[in-house]
Amino acid sequence: MTERSSIAFTVYPDDCDAFGHLNQASFLALFERARWDAIARGPGMDVFTRNHVQPVVRKTTVEYYEQVFPGDRLYFSIELAQQGQTSFTLRQSARKEHGSRPVAEAELVFVCVDRDGKPHAVPDEITALFGGRPSRRTGVTQHLSVNGLATAVDASGDGVAVLLLHGFPLDRTMWRQVSGKLTGWRRIAPDLRGFGLTEAPESGYSIGAYADDLVALLDTLHIERAVVCGLSMGGYVAFDMVRRYSDRVRALILMNTRATPDNAEGRAKRDATLARVRRDGPTFLAAEMLPKLLAPATRQTMPDVVEHVRNMITNQVSDGVAGALAAMRDRPDSTLTLSGIDVPTLVMAGRDDQIVPAAESRTMAEGIPHAQFSVIPDAGHLTPMEQPVNVTRVVKEFLESLD
């Protein structure tokens, strides 16, 4: 059995918060209740105890799409997304009665440990319950081995491949609104190493390592060339792909990014942030970065976007964030790369971007032969999340212009 869709709960008033809707903590509790209900119906709730093992949550990614209120009846599905020898990933979704799209989705990575805290094999009963083969449905998250790392990828559609590279410290889900509207193209949005549901090596790595991973991912997906679209840190990776793997880049989209390296002050700030992440974990980044990442209009009128960004940041792991900080600190100067870019290029900026001002993006675009430049109103540093309709329109026009 790969999916269980018969688990249903009615939302009661005491499940909801003071505003009368199901809040995030309660949603997580219902997801947990659905898992245990499935296990109780299957091998029994003592399955882990019988096997002298406990499942420990290593990472959780949750998305909320629609509010839920008392009296709503939710139907929960659970499917196996990935399984290793000692770990497994479950994908859960909740839908309202007669609803076609999820109101919330969650992916949870579990590691099985014994009484001494050492990794232990996943019980056979769990494999049999949720299915021995991970889901590979088109349009959902795939879990692939890329350069030896378990890598999460959102892949959907057909046609010319568009590789969507997220910024720091975010994950692939930042692209979902834009990706969902880019019908007619093959959209590929991976979690870069160390982010989202992709493994985080403990040793440090460079921007080049991200690029190497992406080329290996294209090989795995049998894609010769792709339109590479990178936002912020993703743009740094896109520059590296242009320098070292130009034959794999069909066109380039650079969003809210810069070609210049960190100066001495910037490197010192990276070092200070890295030290704090190592000491305290990355959770503090949400409070510090949110005012800079999003335009004032977004923060005031789009609470769902604010919460999505906050969740992405707080769900990251220290090794991944630290690795990215070091990689960005040590990234090469790409200003000399600009004049040599010989593929169609679109540069996009948010009018209210506090991190990479629109004027800087315009100057960068002027350094790239025949590059197009577009400014998105009412957007800060995360234009695809803040203005997905406008961003999709501009990107579509660019993609349609390609030979």
Task: Calculate what percentage of the chain has a pLDDT beyond 90.
Answer: 58
Does pTM surpass 0.75? no
What's the confidence (pLDDT) of residue 328?
97
Clarify whether 14 is annotated catalytic.
no
Active-site annotation holder among 14, 15, 17, 271? 17
What's the confidence (pLDDT) of residue 134?
41
CATH code given to domain 138-403: 3.40.50.1820
Structural fold of domain 1-135:
Thiol Ester Dehydrase; Chain A (3.10.129)
The string of pLDDT tens digits covering residues 77-86 is: 888 877 777 8
**DSSP-derived secondary structure letter, 225:** -
For residue 384, how many C-alpha atoms fall within 13 Å in the half-sphere facing its CB? 31
Give the C-alpha separation, 137 to 141, whole Å: 8
The string of pLDDT tens digits covering residues 266-306 is: 999 999 999 999 998 898 999 999 999 999 999 998 888 99
Give the C-alpha separation, 292 to 306, whole Å: 12
Average pLDDT over residues 216-234: 97
Contact 312, 173 (CB under 8 A): yes
Q: Residue 137 above 60 pLDDT?
A: no
Confidence of residue 139 (pLDDT cuts 50, 70, 90): low
What's the confidence (pLDDT) of residue 290?
95
Spell out where 258-365 has E strands: 345-350
Contact 76, 92 (CB under 8 A): yes
All structural domains of the chain with their residue ranges = 1-135, 138-403
Give the C-alpha separation, 376 to 61, whole Å: 28
